[in-house]
Structure formats: C-alpha cells, structure tokens
Amino acid sequence: MSSLLDHLGSPRHLTVVVVMHLDPTHEGGLAGVLARHTELPVHAVADRARLEPGQVLVIPPDRDLDVEGDELRLSPPGEPRGRRLPIDHFFRSLAQAHRARSIGVVLSGTGSDGTDGLRAIRAVGGLTLAQVPETAMFDAMPRSAIEAGVVDLVAPIDELAGVLVAGQIDDASRGADAGTGPMVGSGSDVGPSTTVDDVMRIVELLESRTGRDLSLHKRSSIARRIDRRMLSHQLASIADYLRLVTRMPEELDVLADDLLIGVTSFFRDPEVWTALRDDVLPGLLAEAVQAGGVVRVWTPACSTGEEAYTVAMTFREAMDRISPRPRVRLRIFATDVDPVAIEHARSGRYPRAIEADVSPERLARFFVESDGGYRIAPDIRELVVFAQQDLTTDPPFTRIDLITCRNLLIYFEPELQRRILPLFHHALQPGGVLVLGTAESCSAAPDLFEPVVGRARIMRRRHVPTSPRAFELPFPAVNRASVAPRPVVRGTDPSTLQAVVEELLRRTFAPSAVLATATGDVVFVNGRTGRYLEPPVGKASLDLIAMTRESLRAAVAQAFRTARRQRSSCSLRAVNTDADPPTVVEITATPVTEPPEASSMVLVVFSEIGAIDDSGGTVDGEGADRDGGPPTAGASALADELAAAQAELRAASEEVQIAKQEMSSMNEELQSANEELQSANEELQAANEELMRSKEEMQSMNEELRTINLELQARVDELVQQSDDMRNLLDSTDIATLFLDSGLGVRRFTPKVTEMFNLIPSDIGRAITDLTTRLVYPELSADVSSVLRDFTPVQREVTDEAGRWFSVRVMPYRTQDRRIDGTVLTFTDITDAKQRELRTASDGLDQRPVGGPTESGDDA
C-alpha cells in the first residue's frame, strides 16, 4: 500500500480508501505509517466521514466499512474474527453506492477477500485492478481475483498508480449505468472517448473473432464496455484501442466476455418472485396436476445459475403453501451462451456474500454450507439441467409452462426483441407464463402476451397463432456460419418473378423438413419442426438424431440410415407421443442428388398423418390411414429389416442375460465398496471443512500480525533515528555523561567518561562502585543513593588524581511515564575556573575549604 501511495503522488481527483485485515484488539497507527508516503492528508475513518477527493482514509480496526452516498459508515463486523471479509464488504457497498465510478484495487494479501467485491464493482461497470501476484508479498488475494476473471487490468504497482492518476473516470461516459442497474443500456449512446464508427469497426472485429452476431446488440452497452477496456489499458483514443486489438486479438476475447455482462443474483427483484409464488404458480401447478403432473420451465440467459435456482426454490415454496401438496415433477432447463457461466452454474457453489440476497431460512433449507461458502442442496440441484445455448441462433425448447428470461432483452435492439418474443410464444404451452426483467417489456410484440402482474413483468401467452416466419430458426447468424452454403441448398434466385413465387409457395406449403449432412448434422430447417425436434440437453448440438424427439428417434434414425445406404427414399411411420394428442407422423428420408455440392446430404420430411383415435387408428389429416392401407415400398423394406433385427435381438438378449448375471455379482461388490467410500468421504469432508476454517483464521491472523509488524518496524526506525540523534548530541557536547540503573549498574556512558573511570563497553551492567576511578569522589555511592531515594538532584565539585576539578551533577533518570529508573551523572571540567578561584583565595581573599556538597533545588 505504501508503495502505491509513493507512486500515486497527490491525485486531487481521487478519494483513496484503504481497507486492510487489522488485528481487532490492536489500536493501530496505520494512518501514521501511510502518511509518510503521501502528501495527501491521511485519516483513520470516523463514522460519517465524508468521501471528499484528495485524501486517504484508513479503516479502523474491528469495524466494517460501508458507503452511504458521500459518507462512510462504520459498524461492528457482522462475522466472527477469522471469517471476516472486510474488503469484499466495502467493495460491494461501494459498487452499490457509486456504481460505474467505483475503482477496486486488490494488492498483496492472503485468502480470497476482494474477489467477490471486485466482481460486484465490475458488474456495475466500475474498474477493477490487481497487483501482479509475483510482485506481491502475499500473492493469494490478487491471484484469486485474477483466476475468478474479475480483474480488468493486472499490472505492477507503479503501472496501477499510473492508471489511477490518468484514469479520470468520466461520469458522462461511465455513469450511464448508474442508478438503475447494470442492465440499463439507455442514456448517452456512446462515451466521449468513442464514436459510432469506431464502435462499428470493433463490433465487426468481434464478430469475426467470436462468430457471434452482435449487429442487433445495443450500441450503448457495447460502447460502455469498450470505454472500460480502454481505461484499463490507459488508452485515450479508440484509434489506439483499435491498434491494440489488431496487434493482440486475444483482447477481443476479453471484450467479448465483458459484453456478456453476467451480473445476476438470487431473488433479484424480490417482489417479482413473491408475486410469482403467490399469484401465478398456484394456478400453474393446478393446471399441471390436471395435465399429467409435469411442469417444464426454461430459463434462457441464466448466467451463473442464480435465477434458475431461484425458480426452483420459488416453486418449492409455492408447493408448500398448497394443501394437499401437489404431486408434480418439475424440470427446469437453464441455458446461457456463456460456457464459463454454465460451468459455474452446474457446480452450484456460491460465496458467503449471497447472504445479502438469501434469507437465513432459505439458506438453511435450500443450501449446504461448504468451503467457506454455500452449495445448492442436492434436492434443488437435481431439478435444474444446464446447457450452453445461444438464444439468437439455437432452436428453442418447446411445450414449456414457464419462461423466465430476465435482463437479457434490454441488451438487444428492438428488432432482435421482435424475433425473440415470438420464439418464446412458440416455446410456451397455451396459457404458459413469461417473466421478463423489470426494465423490459413485450412492446416489441404486443399481441402475443397479456400482463398477469404488470409491475412484476409477468405475462401470459395469448392464444394467437405465431407466424412461422416471425422467427426463423436457426436465426440468420447460424446460416451465415453454417457449414452448408445456403444459396446452393435453397437453389432459387429471387431476382425473377417466377423465383419469388416459387419461394413464397415453398414457404407456405412446404412441409416441416430438415436437411442434414451425411454425418447427420442439420444444416437447414424448413417450416416448423418443434413438434418433432428439440435441442438436446447438455452441450448444444445440431445432430439430427440427438435433436429428434424420443418417440420418433428410432424411426428417423432408421429412415436416415436406409436412405443413405440404399441411395433411395425411405418412408416410415411412427407415433409422436410427445404431441397432445399423440399423432402418427410419416418420416421420409430422401438422399439429395442435385446440386452436386449437396449430393451427400439427406432431406428428412415430417408429415402429419393424423391424431390417434380411441380405437388406435388415425383420424383427420392429409393422407390419413384409417384402415391400415397398403404398405408403402419403404414399409416393406422396414418389415424385412425388422425381421433381421429381431433375430439379432434374440442372440443379443442371450448374451445380455449372461452379462447381467456377472454384472449383478460385481454390482454387489461395488455397492459395498461404494458405501465404504461414501462414509470415508463424509469424514474427509468434515475434516476438510475444519481445516479450511482454521486455515482462514490463520491467514487473517497472519495478515494482522504483518500489519502490526509494519507499524512496529516504523516505530523501530523512528527510535533508531532518535538514538542516533542522542548519541551525536552527547558526543558533541564534550560533557562526560554516565547513565546508571537503579542498582548502580552502568547502563550507558559517553566517551569522555573513560577519562575518569576505567570503563570499557563490556562493563555495561557492572556496578560503578566496582570500577576504579581517577576521581577523588568517595561520596559517589551515597550521592546516587540519595537521589534515588529523595528524587532531588545533587551537585558537587570534586577533584581527580591529576588535580583537575569537575562539577558533578547527579540527577534522577525519569522514564516517559514519569517513573525514576536510575540516575544520570554529568561531569563538567571546571579546572580553569577553580584555579582562578584558588589563586584568588591564596592571595588571601578567601581561606574557606572547598568540595562540600550543595543541594540544587531544580528538577530535571
């Protein structure tokens, strides 16, 4: 810290607040130590201290520090010693109060304090800096922040100081996020340091680097993120930033990550979740019980999982309030484009800081304490399935009862919102519910949803048809990046009227179909295929078989394989039990022969034959096959394959039987080994938690000791300086001075004393009466004892063996706390004066004897 202050100079635009891990029992002098390294005034923070720029404010020991407007508030720490995270606490409070104007700097320190605080600062558009760990005395704190990916700039101390001094955070450019939350993209469109053209150029570079289509992302939020990256590189112009990203394309990855803006929290906007639990879920659960007992929820843009788990907890609470408790199976699909966020979400681990958002009752019920933080309880974790998915390009989930997509649309231009809202409409069951963020609305598609709880942005799907063209899947971005050249596949040139008519007819009448490569990857989707396909859970994939709904999967796989192998069309029928009511679907796979570029591909067409009636036959629908009808050529091929497959199946089932028996005995062994492992694991986990707790306590103690040490070191430096001053003073006065302790032992002496006493440095500690002296001073011991007893100085004139005269003054040695702890003897040579006096006396003017003691009334 002192090194940072040394490099900062006196920046009048900054308020520096120093938060350290201090010993709560030690009244520190940290402010005094830091004051030697800066010209700015340094104060220990007092309650309600104002955050005036141009000063350094230091946290006092045993206090938490909060920011309220322009004031600092002190409060007793909320956590017991050893579990306190004062830096996280302060950073979070700073982020909340000063949003994009906050700068968090993490320097040397143990543990991970500061990491979550920096995350909070970054989420509101503030700037986050960390010292290069290799240059820190304790590298754990900066390392933790860097590994968590929450640091904008990692640099040595002098560079960090440069950023702080140069980085005049401009309120106009950065404060646009302020007040209404990080998601607010309105306000000034671009900061003063960026221009629209510059932003466009960087967006192009980003698109080609990441393959993501950002053309419909709000310019204002992109501009703000660029501004922040410029600041962390200390760049004044966007031209410099352009040069930087051209030279270091990996900087584009950092910017792309920044753009995802994953800020989130549990029960974000609590009133929304209360309204959902009390006003919406009871009805939704009642409908689910009637319709088979399954509730399907989709949370696109789930970030690190907090929103999806909040949905799960809210459902649990809603179910608890209904009697008898509804018997429903809850499935929550939570997706996000950011794979790192999805990994975090899957782990279900969160820091202690979530206590600010989750009540103690919910913490006790839905979380398990673990590794100094919290883990989602297994019964909540198992309700949620996480997957990476880009909402703008990947196929949506379907037959969904509730979609919560909060704080994503706000980052998109209205045009993209107009495509996504119909997609949600398509994904929802009739009567399904959509929850948006409080700053978002359905105004881009007003006919599709009606408000249920308006202020909470909870809406119900209206029963209106969604135009199949309102959203086209995949969205254009995927086609652009797709392996298949789209114009070749479509094969029409819309420049002629005939082509236009063909295209329109194709769009209106063409059945639902997909074109897949020889390896089964879908490269083009025609019409609405949601009844037959859905994105697979887990890593996003375009694999046709994986995407096909379970009840149709075997038939699609069979038709696809046959068409590929026999190079001819194959049609199979299957019952789509995922549809309500179940329908018979004809699946026709046709190998593509023209044009040559697509010759290895297969076109798979889905045709609805009709719904299944009570007798098991089909009703209505084109080509309905009420009485069985003659089998098609494809169907007879299927019969042959079926017979062959049945024979294979019989042989295989015998093998399976044998394998099953072996497995079962192996299973038993594994079971008992597993149980042993589980109990060992439990024990280890408990021991580990204990160790982690002790480690954290040790770490914070260690740091407190270091701070005390720092102060002591400063005091030692001061004392050494004083001692040097004293020695030089005594040496230069030419007055022999002797310091005795209260037992007459020699404590210290000046060189001049050796002319009167036979003293060498090793005599320190010996009684002065044991040493030989050239002085004729038999009263020495008595004088010293009298001063120690009466605290009254004694003065006397004595002679030595050589006939020289000295004025001896014996004074009490007073300590700082006014105790008498020995004596100080000074010997002043008065030979000349005395000789003059004796000469005068011998001239007969005065015959009085000399040498008697004289009492001096003055005190030292």
Ligand X SMILES: C[S@@+](CC[C@H](N)C(=O)[O-])C[C@H]1O[C@@H](n2cnc3c(N)ncnc32)[C@H](O)[C@@H]1O
Q: To which H or E segment does residue 241 belong?
A: helix 238-247
Whole-angstrom distance, CA of residue 643 vs CA of residue 640: 5
Amino acid sitting at position 589: A
Q: Given strand 153-155, what is the order of strands in its sheet?
A: 103-106, 127-131, 153-155
CB of 182: closest distance to ligand X in angstroms? 7
260 touching ligand X, by CB under 6 A: yes
Closest to ligand X by CB, 185 vs 191, is: 185
CB of 210: closest distance to ligand X in angstroms? 11
CB of 553: closest distance to ligand X in angstroms? 26
**Contact indicator for 359, 314 with CB cutoff of 8 Å:** no
Q: Which of 111, 133, 181, 262 binds ligand X (CB under 6 A)?
A: 262
CB-side neighbour CA atoms (13 Å) of 587? 32
CB of 425: closest distance to ligand X in angstroms? 17
336 touching ligand X, by CB under 6 A: yes
199 touching ligand X, by CB under 6 A: no
CB of 397: closest distance to ligand X in angstroms? 13
Q: Which stretch binds ligand X (CB under 6 A): 276-284, 334-342, 363-371, 519-527?
A: 334-342
Closest to ligand X by CB, 387 vs 428, is: 387
Q: Which stretch binds ligand X (CB under 6 A): 55-63, 406-414, 769-777, 810-818?
A: 406-414
The values of phi and psi at residue 154, to 5°, are -110, 125
183 touching ligand X, by CB under 6 A: yes
Whole-angstrom distance, CA of residue 420 vs CA of residue 182: 21
341 touching ligand X, by CB under 6 A: yes
Residues contacting residue 769 through CB under 8 Å, at least 6 positions apart: 744, 780, 781
Closest to ligand X by CB, 301 vs 328, is: 301
Q: Phi-psi region for residue 635, left (φ > 0), alpha (ψ -120 to 50) or beta?
A: alpha
- Burial, 723: exposed, middle or buried (Cβ in 10 Å; 0-12, 13-18, 19+)? exposed
213 touching ligand X, by CB under 6 A: no
b or e along 481-501 (b: 16 or more beta carbons within 10 Å of the residue's beta carbon)? ebebeeeebbeeeeeeeeeee
456 touching ligand X, by CB under 6 A: no
CB of 221: closest distance to ligand X in angstroms? 10
Closest to ligand X by CB, 160 vs 261, is: 261
**Contact indicator for 157, 163 with CB cutoff of 8 Å:** no
Q: Which two tokens stand for residue 22?
A: 């201090």
Q: Kindly write down the DSSP assignment for every residue of 766-821, as one continuous string.
A: SBGGGS-BSEE-TTHHHHHHHHHHH---EEEEEEETTS-EEEEEEEEEE-TTS-EE
- Burial, 726: exposed, middle or buried (Cβ in 10 Å; 0-12, 13-18, 19+)? exposed
Q: Which of 199, 261, 477, 587 binds ligand X (CB under 6 A)?
A: 261
CB of 252: closest distance to ligand X in angstroms? 16
Residues contacting residue 207 through CB under 8 Å, at least 6 positions apart: 213, 214, 215
Query: What angle separates helix 306-320 from helix 281-290, to the nearest 10 degrees?
Result: 80
Closest to ligand X by CB, 99 vs 406, is: 406
Question: Scanning residues 285 to 314, which ones bind ligand X (CB under 6 A)?
Answer: 300-301, 303, 307
> 534 - beta bridge partners?
none
222 touching ligand X, by CB under 6 A: no
Q: Which stretch binds ligand X (CB under 6 A): 26-34, 60-68, 336-344, 838-846?
A: 336-344
Query: What angle separates helix 196-210 from helix 238-247, to the nearest 10 degrees?
Result: 20
Closest to ligand X by CB, 392 vs 441, is: 392
CB of 404: closest distance to ligand X in angstroms? 7
407 touching ligand X, by CB under 6 A: yes
Q: Which of 328, 391, 525, 556 binds ligand X (CB under 6 A)?
A: 391
Query: Residues 659, 661, 666, 669: what is their CA dihedral angle, to the nearest 10 degrees?
Result: 170
Q: Which of 392, 417, 526, 700 binds ligand X (CB under 6 A)?
A: 392
Q: Where are the beta strands (DSSP E) in 670-745?
A: 736-740
Instruction: Measure the N-to-C terminal CA separation of the chain; round to a whole number of Å.
Output: 43
Query: What radius of gyration do the chain's Cα atoms show?
Result: 42
Q: Which two tokens stand for residue 191?
A: 């900061």
CB of 197: closest distance to ligand X in angstroms? 24
Q: Rounded to whole angstroms, what are the CA distances from 488 to 494, 600, 604?
A: 13, 13, 17
**Contact indicator for 103, 121 with CB cutoff of 8 Å:** yes
CB of 123: closest distance to ligand X in angstroms? 8
Whole-angstrom distance, CA of residue 543 vs CA of residue 495: 33
Closest to ligand X by CB, 67 vs 202, is: 202
Binding-site size for ligand X (CB under 6 A) equals: 22
CB of 304: closest distance to ligand X in angstroms? 7
Among 281, 388, 287, 284, CA closest to 342 = 388
Among 231, 175, 7, 20, CA closest to 110 = 20
CB of 549: closest distance to ligand X in angstroms? 23
408 touching ligand X, by CB under 6 A: yes
Q: Which stretch binds ligand X (CB under 6 A): 13-21, 262-270, 283-291, 847-855?
A: 262-270
345 touching ligand X, by CB under 6 A: no
Whole-angstrom distance, CA of residue 613 vs CA of residue 603: 30
Q: Which of 62, 113, 317, 338 binds ligand X (CB under 6 A)?
A: 338
CB of 535: closest distance to ligand X in angstroms? 12
406 touching ligand X, by CB under 6 A: yes
Closest to ligand X by CB, 267 vs 366, is: 267
Q: Which stretch binds ligand X (CB under 6 A): 56-64, 335-343, 438-446, 839-847?
A: 335-343
Tell me the residue nearest to ligand X as measured from the CB: 264
Closest to ligand X by CB, 93 vs 265, is: 265
317 touching ligand X, by CB under 6 A: no
Closest to ligand X by CB, 307 vs 783, is: 307
Closest to ligand X by CB, 386 vs 749, is: 386
Residues that bind ligand X (CB under 6 A): 183, 260-264, 268, 300-301, 303, 307, 336-338, 341, 390-392, 406-408, 437
